[in-house]
Structure 1
Amino acid sequence: MELEAIPGVGAKTAAALSELDDPVATVESGDVAAIARAPGVNEARAARIARGAIRRRHDDAGRVLATDRAREVYREAIDLLRERTVTDYAAKRLETFYPSASASRIAEAQSAAADATTREPDPEVRDALAGVEPLDDPPTVRVRDRCLATADAEMFARAERAVPELSVETVEDARDISELGRSYATVIVIDEAFAGLDVDGDVKVRPDALETPAETVPERLLAFFATNRERLEAAAAVHEAAAVAGDPVAPDGPAADLDHLRDALARLDDDGTIVGDDELARLTDAVDDLDAAVSTAASVADDRLREAIRERDVTIEGTDFLSLVEQGARVDSLLDRELADEYDEAIAAAREHLADALRLEPEEAELAEPIFDGDPSFPVDHDEAAVSRLRTELAAARDRRSARLKADLASDLGDLREPVEALVRDALELDVELAISRFARDFDCTMPEVVDPDADADPGESIGAGGDGTIDSGFRIEGGRSPLLDVAFDDAEPIDYAVSGATLLSGVNSGGKTSTLDLVALVVVLAQMGLPVPAESATVERFEEIHYYAKSQGTLDAGAFEATLRDFGDLVEGADGRLVLVDELESITEPGASAKIIAGILEALDDQDATAVFVSHLAREIRDAADFAVAVDGIEAAGLVDGELRVNRSPKKGHLARSTPELIVEKLADDRGGEFYDDLLEKF
C-alpha cells in the first residue's frame, strides 16, 4: 500500500511515516501511539491518519456527517466517551471511531465495542492507568569511549546512518587501528578484511556490528528502557490490577514477564547507566574521587612529618652544615638525612590512605605507588603524571566493565523490547475499552442493529412503522434516553419512536421535539460508529448521509433565505439513503410561505424514499399544502397540572398534537366556562 493513498496523507506526512520501522503495517494497525512516533506526527494527527487507513481498508470514501449540527452531535458523542478515559492516548484513539456508511467497517467496530462492553471498570485499574503513556523514543545517546572503524567509504556512510551514537573513524592498516586503541576504550572494526587482527587494546573485528545494534551500542536499548521506566512500571501495574480484578488485560496474560522486566529495570538508572554492581561502583568512585584522595593522602603524609619534627631535636655539626650549604642542599635534604625513616613512614601512610580511600585492588595499588615516589619534600609532593596514568587505567577498567554489563543487560532487555511495546499498547487499549464500557453502563446502552434498507427481515420485523415483514428505510428506537439533555440521565424520560419515510413531528412548545431529534441523531450516529446506543433496543438503516438542520434563530434576510433554499435544493438531489432531520424550518420566513416550502421539500424526499423528520408547528398547513399523504406524528400533551405542562414524550404515530395555546384555552373553558372560551376552543 502506498502511504499517500491513505486519505489525508500527503507527501510530507508520508515521508515522516516512512521513518517508522514498518510504516504500512503500523498505519494499518490503527495503533495511534505507534503512528505518533513518526517525526512531527502528534497523537491527534496520528488518530486522523489511522482513521484514513480504516476508511481505505473498507473502501469508505463517503462522509456521513453532512451538516454542522450532525457534526456537533458526533463531537458531543465523542466527548461523552472521552470523559470516561484516563489516558490522553485513549481520548485520541476513540476518534478512530467515526460514523461510517460501510457495512464492513460498522461490523468491525461493533465487534470491538461488543468485546469492550464486557469489561468491568475497576477503580484500581483506572488508578493504575493514570501513569500509562505511549512509549517514547529517547534522544540519540553519544558514546565517546567506543568507536567504529572502517577502510571503506561506503561502509563509513552506512555506519554513520545506522549507529549515530558512535564515532566512525577511517583506517588504512593495523597501525591506524592500534592508534585508535590508545584513544578509545573499545574499537569495533567492521571490515571483514581485518579478521584475525592482533593489536594492543580492546579491539574487536565484527563485520556484523551494524546488524546487531544491541551488541554494538547497548546504550540505545538501555536509553529506551530508562526513558520509559515509569510508563513500563505503570503498564505492569495495570496488568496486575486487572488480573486481581478478574478481568485480565489480555486473555493470555501480559506480553512481557513482569518479574523479569522489573529485575532488569532495577539494574538500570534513569540516565541509562548500570546500577547495582559493586565493582563498577568502586571503579566509578575511584575515578571520580582520585584527585581528592591524592590531596588527602598528601595531607596525611604532611601531618606525619610535622608531628615527627615536633617530637625530635635535630642537631647538625657546623662542618656538616657548611658542607651541605656548599653543596646547595635544601632544608628538605637536611630533613631527609635526619628524618629518613620518618619520611618513608609518612609516604607509606599516604599510599595506604590512597589505596583504602579508593578501595584499590593490589595491582591498582602498585600503579598508585609512583604517585608518592619522588624526592623527599615538605610539604609532600605528588607526581601528576602518575596520577594521570592511574586515572587512565581506572577509567579504562570502569569503561570495560560498564560496557560488559551494558551488553549483558541489553541482551536481557533485547528479548523484552517487542513484548513491552505490546504490554503498554494493551494497557492503553484497555483504557479505550473501559471508556466504551463505562459509556454503555452509564447510559444503559445496547448494541443496535444496523441493516441495509433493502435487506429482508424475519416476518413481522421492520424498522419503521410499516410492519409488512420487510425492512423499511428509517429507524426504530425503544426506550431511548438522551444523555445530551440538561437533566440528569436517570431523570430523562424514555422515548419510543420509529420513522420510515418523510414525517412531520408536531407537539406543544417545550414538549421535547428538539430533544427527540437530538436523540434520533445521537442513536444513528453512534450506531454507524459501531458503538452501543442509549436505548433498550434500536434498529437503524445504514444511512449514506445524515443531514441535521438545527432551528434557525429568527427570520432570515433575502440573501440568507436564498442560500438556505439552495442547501435544500442540493439536498433533495439524489437523496437516497439519507437521514434528514430538520428543526422548525418555518422560522426562516413567514408561516404561509414556510408551509409551502416545507411541503415541497417533503415531496422531493418522499419521491426518493428518504427518511426525514421535520419538526414543525405548521404540521396541519404543511399537510394541506403537500401533494402526498404526509405522515404526522405528535408529542401529545396530557394537559396542564398546576400550571405545568405534562407531556407524553414518545411521539404518537399518525397524530397531530395539540398546541400549548389550545391546551390553555381548553383549561380555561373547563375551569371558568363561558361562551368566549368555548368559541375560541372551536377554532383549533
Structure 2
Amino acid sequence: MEFESIPGVGGKTAAALAELEAPEAALESGDVLTIASAPGITEGRAAAIARGAIQRRHDDPGGFLATDRAKSLYDDALSLLQERAVTQYAEKRLETLYPSPCASRIQEVHQLVDRALSRDPDSDVLDALGGVDPLAEPSGLRVRDRCLATADAEQYAKAKNRMPELSAEVVDDARDIDELARSYATVFVLDESFAGIDIDGDVRILPNALEEPETVVPERLLSFFATNREPILAAAEVHRLAGLEPPCELDTLINGLDRVDDDGTIVGDEELRRLEVAVDDLDAAVGTAESVANDHLRDAIKERNVTIEGQDFLSLVEQGARVDSLLARELDEDFETALKKARTHLRDSLSLAPEEGELADRIFGGDPTFPISRREDAVSRLKNELTAARDRRASTLKSELAADLAELREPVDQLVRNALELDVELAIARFATDFDCVMPEFGDPETGFEIRAGRSPLLDVDFQHVDPVDYGVEGVTLLSGVNSGGKTSLLDLVGLVVILAHMGLPVPAESVRLQRFTELHYYAKSQGTLDAGAFESTLQEFGDLISGADGRLVLVDELESITEPGASAKIIAGILEALDTQGATAVFVSHLADQIRAAADVPVAVDGIQAVGLVDGELQVDRSPVKDHLARSTPELIVEKLAGEASDASFYESLLEKF
C-alpha cells in the first residue's frame, strides 16, 4: 500500500506507519488504536489518517460538507455522539465516521450501527468502561544483571533496538565473553559459533534470544502487565457485565495479574517472600541474636559465685592464662547455652532452611568471650547465599510467569480493544435512544428528502419538549414563514438528518427517506448587507455551486439580506432556475417568496410555516410547513388581531387589505 496516497499523509507520517506490524490491516479497518501506536502519531491524528484511508478504500472524492455551515453542523452531530462516549479512545474513533455519498461506505457503517443498536447501555457497563484505556508500553525499564553479546555488528544493532532494557556488547572471542561473565550474572550470546566454550559463570548461547524476550528479559512482559493492570481488569469487568465473549480465560488472566506487583516484581510466592525478608532482616536479626546470647551469659555470671584458690589463680597466671580462660573453665556450659540461644533465635527469626541454618550457626562460635560478638565473615557469607537464593528464585518465577503471561499478551490486546470498541457502539446506541432515532431509507436519485416527525437535538430546549416536524422536498422550493417561526431550525434539522444519514447513522425522526446526495451546501443567514466586494464573491460562490449541481442538496437561509430586496429577489430567482435545470434539491428560506416566484421563469414551489395566531403576545406556530402555501407574516397577524379587537376597526381593516 502506498501510504502517501492517503489524503493528508506525507512522507514523515508514511514512514511512521511503515513501522507498524500490520499497517495495511489497521488502515483497512480504520483501527485508530493501532495507527496511534505508530511513532509520533496521536489518537486525533490517527483518526484523521483512518478517515483518509477509508475515503480512499471507497473511492470517496470527499468534500460532501461543502460549506462552513455544513461543516459546523457535522461538528454538532459528532459532538452529540462524542458526549455519549466514556473513553477518550471512543471519542477519537467516532471521528472516523463522516458523511459520504458512497453507498459502500454508508452500508459499512450500517453494519456497525446494527451491532450498536443491539447493545444495552447498562450503567454498570458504562462505569466499568471508565477504567479502560489503550494499553501503554512501559518505558525506562533497565535490567543491569544481564547482557547480550555478539561478534556481529548487524546483530549488535538489532540487539540494541529490540532489547533496550539490556546492555549489548561486542565480543571478539571467548576471552571477551569470560570477562563479561565476571561483570554480569548472566550473559546471552547471540552467535551459535560460540557453542561449546567452557567459561565459568552463567553464559548461555541463544541465537534466537531476540525473538524470545520473555526468556531473556521477562521483566519487560511483567512490567507491561503491571503498568496496564487497571485497564486490563476494567476491560475484563466490561466483558463480564456486558456478556461479551472474552478472548481468553478471565480467571487465568486475573490470577496472572495477581502474581505481579505494580512495579513488576513477583508477589504471592512464600519462598521468595521468606528469602526477601531474610536478606532484609539479616543484620537486625544478628544483632538481636547477639543480645539474646549476651543477656543469657550476663545473667549466668551474675548468679555464679566463682571461687579460685590463690595457688590455682597464680598457676593460671604464670601459664599466661587470660580471663577468657577462667570463663571457659567456670562458665563453659553457660557459654554453650548462650551460643545455642543465639543460633536458635537467628534460625527462627529468619525462618532459615537447614542448609542456611548451618551457615548461620558459624556466625556465633569460637572461644568463650564476653560479650559474645558475631563473626563478620560468616554474616557476609550467609548474606551472599541468601541474596543469591533470592535472586535465583525471583528469576525462575519471573521466567515462569512471563511464559504464562506471554500466551495472554495478544488476547489482552484484543480484550481491551473489544471494550474500547464497545464504547463506540454504546455511544451510538445511547445517541439513538436519547433522540428517538430511526434508520433512514435511501431512495432513487432526484427523490429529495422526506422527514416525518423529525425533532432537532440542537435546539436550546429539552429534547422531549421539541415539537416534531414533517417536511419533504423534491426539486427546488422556497420556504416562507413568520419571524421566529422555526425556519432556520428546520433547515438545521434537514441538514443534520442528511449528514447523519450519509454518515450511516440513525436520525432523530419517526421515518426518513432521502436520496444519496453528492454534496451538502448550507449557507447560513448573512449578518447584514454585504459591500460590493463581498457581494461579488458571494455571487461567484453561487456560480460555482450551480456548475455540476446535479445530486447536490442546497440549503440557503435568507440570502436576500446580502443586498437590496428588489435585486435579491431577482438574484435568488435566477439561482433557483439554474438549480432546477441542474436537477438539484434546494430549500431557500426567504421573506421575499412572492417576489421571487414572480421573478422566476420556471414554476417555483413555495412552502410555508404557518402561524396560527397570537396568544398573550406569543406567536403560535405550526412548525411543519404547509406545502404550496405562502405563509403570512407576523405584521399581518398583528394587524388581523387588532382588527378583530378594536371597536372601530376600519383603520386596521384597510391595512389588512394591503397584505
Same fold (TM over 0.5): yes
Residue 599 to residue 363, structure 1, CA distance change in 2 (3 Å): same
Q: Distance in 2 between matches of 1:447 and 1:675?
A: 55
- 1:497 is aligned, of 467, 471, 496, to 471
Q: TM-score by structure 2 length?
A: 0.93
Match of 1:70 in 2: 70
The equivalent residue for 1:681 is 656
Whole-angstrom distance in 1 between the partners of 2:461 and 2:319? 109
Closer, same or farther: CA 488–99 of 1 in aligned 2, 3 Å: same
Aligned to 1:165: 165
Partner deviation per Cα, 1:411-463 (whole Å, 9 max, x = no partner)? 22111111111111111111111111111122111111235xxx4xxxxxxxx
Cα RMSD (Å) of the superposition?
Answer: 2.5
Aligned partners of 2:321 and 2:53: how far apart in 1?
90
Cα distance per residue 1:277-317 (max 9 Å; x no partner)? 11111111112222222222222233233223323344567
Distance 1:6 1:535 in 2: 35
Give the match for residue 601 of structure 1: 575
Equivalent position to 2:439, from 443, 447, 451: 447
1:473, 1:610 within 8 Å by CA — same for their partners in 2? no
2:419 is matched with which residue: 427, 433, 442?
427
**Take 1:384 and 1:574, find their aligned partners in 2: how far apart are those partners?**
95
Q: Secondary structure at the match of 1:274?
A: coil
CA distance in 1, matches of 2:63, 2:366: 88
Partner of 2:566: 592
Whole-Å separation in 2 of the counterparts to 1:330 and 1:111? 98
- Tell me the residue number matched to 1:305: 297
Residues 328 and 531 (structure 1 numbering): CA distance in 2 closer, same or farther, change over 3 Å? farther
Query: For 1:534, which of 508, 523, 545 is the aligned residue?
Result: 508
Alignment of 1:539-550 (within 5 A): 539-550=513-524
User: 1:328 deviation in Å?
Assistant: 8.5
C-alpha contact 2:275 2:390 (8 A) present in aligned 1: yes
Could you tell me how far apart the structure 1 residues matched to 2:205 and 2:521 are? 69
Any idea what SS the aligned residue of 2:594 has? helix
Question: CA 1:374–1:30 in structure 2 vs 1: closer, same or farther (change >3 Å)?
Answer: farther
> Which digits, 9 at most, give the CA deviation of each residue in 1:534-567, with x for residues without a partner?
1121122222221211112223334433333333
Tell me what 1:56 maps to. 56
Listed as ranges, the matches of 1:121-200 within 5 Å are 121-174=121-174, 176-200=176-200
> How far does residue 322 in structure 1 lie from its aligned partner after superposition?
7.8
Structure 1 residues 319 and 49 mapped into 2: Cα distance closer, same or farther (>3 Å)?
farther
> For residue 9 of structure 2, what is the amino acid of its counterpart?
V
CA distance in 2, matches of 1:273, 1:130: 27
1:203 is paired with a residue whose SS is strand
Distance in structure 2 (CA, Å) of the matches to 1:279 and 1:374:
32
What letter is aligned with 1:498? G
Q: Could you tell me how far 1:220 is from its partner in structure 2? A: 1.3
Residues in 2 aligned to 1:511 and 1:678: alpha-carbon distance in whole angstroms: 24
Q: 3-state DSSP class of the match of 2:382? A: helix
CA contact (8 A) 1:632 1:656 kept: yes
Map of 1:359 onto structure 2: 351
Q: Distance in 2 between matches of 1:381 and 1:171?
A: 48
Choose 73-82 or 175-184, whichever is displaced more: 175-184
Q: Which residue of 2 aligns with 1:654?
A: 628
* Aligned CA distance change for structure 1 residues 301 and 625 (closer, same or farther; 3 Å): same
Distance in 2, matches of 1:636 and 1:111, equals: 40
The amino acid across from 2:505 in the alignment is L
Which of 440, 460, 477 is equivalent to 1:486? 460
CA deviation after TM superposition for structure 1 residue 530, in Å: 0.6
Aligned: 1:666 with 2:640: yes
CA distance in 2, matches of 1:338, 1:19: 82
Equivalent residue for 1:256?
248
- Report the 3-state secondary structure (helix = DSSP H, G, I; strand = E; otherwise coil) of the residue aligned with 1:256: coil
* 2:410 is the alignment partner of 1:418: yes
- CA offsets, 1:452-499, max 9 Å, x none? xxx4xxxxxxxxxxxxxxx42522212211111122222222212111
Task: Tell me what 1:458 maps to.
Answer: none
Counterpart Cα distance in 2 of 1:435 and 1:156: 48
Does the 8 Å CA contact 1:634/1:651 hold for their aligned counterparts?
Answer: yes
Counterpart residue identity of residue 306, structure 1? R
Select which of 570, 594, 599 maps to 2:544: 570
Cα shift readout 1:51-93 (whole Å, capped 9, x = no counterpart): 1221121122312112221111111111111222222221221
Which whole-Å CA distance do the structure 2 matches of 1:537 and 1:264 have between them? 51
Asked if 2 retains the 8 angstrom alpha-carbon contact of 1:639 and 1:663, the reply is yes
Change in CA separation of 1:318 and 1:165 when aligned onto 2, cut-off 3 Å: farther
- 487-496 or 172-181, which moves further after superposition? 172-181
For the 8 Å contact 1:505–1:635, the answer to whether it is kept is yes
Q: CA deviation at 1:599?
A: 2.0
Partner of 2:493 in structure 1? 519
Matched, 1:295 2:270: no
Does the 8 A contact of 1:298 with 1:381 survive in 2? Answer: yes
Equivalent-residue separation in structure 1 for 2:73 and 2:523 (angstroms) = 11
Unaligned runs of 5+ in 2: none
Paired residue for 1:629? 603
Describe the SS at the equivalent of 1:144.
coil
Distance 1:191-1:386 versus aligned 2 partners, 3 A rule: farther
Report the counterpart of residue 40 of structure 1 in structure 2.
40
What is the alpha-carbon distance in structure 1 between the residues aligned to residue 268 and residue 654 of structure 2?
A: 97
Counterpart check, 1:472 vs 2:443: no
Q: In the aligned structure 2, how far is the partner of 1:174 from the partner of 1:663?
A: 104
Q: What letter matches 2:459 in structure 1? A: L
- Aligned equivalents of 1:180, 1:332: Cα separation in 2: 49
Query: 1:588/1:474 Cα in 2 relative to 1: closer, same or farther (>3 Å)?
Result: same
Partner in structure 1 of residue 28 of structure 2 = 28
The amino acid of 2:347's aligned partner reads A
After superposing the two structures, state which structure 1 stretch, 160-169 or 272-281, moved more. 160-169
Paired AA for residue 269 in structure 1:
D
The answer as to 2:394 corresponding to 1:402 is yes
Distance 1:505 1:608 in 2: 20
Question: What's the offset of the Cα at 1:513?
Answer: 0.5
Task: Tell me the distance in 1 between the aligned counterparts of 2:254 and 2:280.
Answer: 29
| 1:622-651 per-position Cα deviation (integer Å, ceiling 9, x unaligned) | 112222222211112223344332222111
Q: How big is the shift at 1:657?
A: 1.1
Structure 1 residues 97 and 661: CA distance shift in structure 2, 3 A? same
CA 1:188/1:509 → structure 2, altered by over 3 Å: closer, same or farther?
same
How far did 1:109 drift?
1.0
Over 3 Å counting, the alpha-carbon distance change for 1:390 and 1:5 in structure 2 is farther
State the distance in 2 between where 1:537 and 1:449 align. 8
User: How far apart, in 2, do the equivalents of 1:187 and 1:48 lie?
Assistant: 46
Aligned-partner SS, 1:496: strand
Contact 1:37–1:137 (CA under 8 A) maintained in structure 2:
no
Alignment length (residue pairs): 658
Amino acid at match of 2:185: A
Return the TM-score normalized by structure 1: 0.90
> Structure 1 counterpart of 2:262, which letter?
D
2:553 maps to which of 555, 558, 579:
579
In structure 2, C-alpha distance between the alignment counterparts of 1:345 and 1:33, rounded to whole Å? 69
Q: How do residues 337-356 of structure 1 correspond to structure 2 at under 5 angstroms?
A: 338-356=330-348
* CA spacing shift, 1:352–1:259, aligned 2, 3 Å: same
Moved more, 330-339 or 364-373: 330-339
Query: Residue 464 of structure 1 corresponds to which residue in structure 2?
Result: none
Q: Determine the C-alpha separation between the residues in 2 that align with 1:313 and 1:636.
A: 123
The residue type paired with residue 592 of structure 1 is G
Q: Judge conservation of contact 2:446–2:584 (CA < 8 Å) in 1.
A: no
Q: Partner letter of residue 110 of structure 1?
A: H
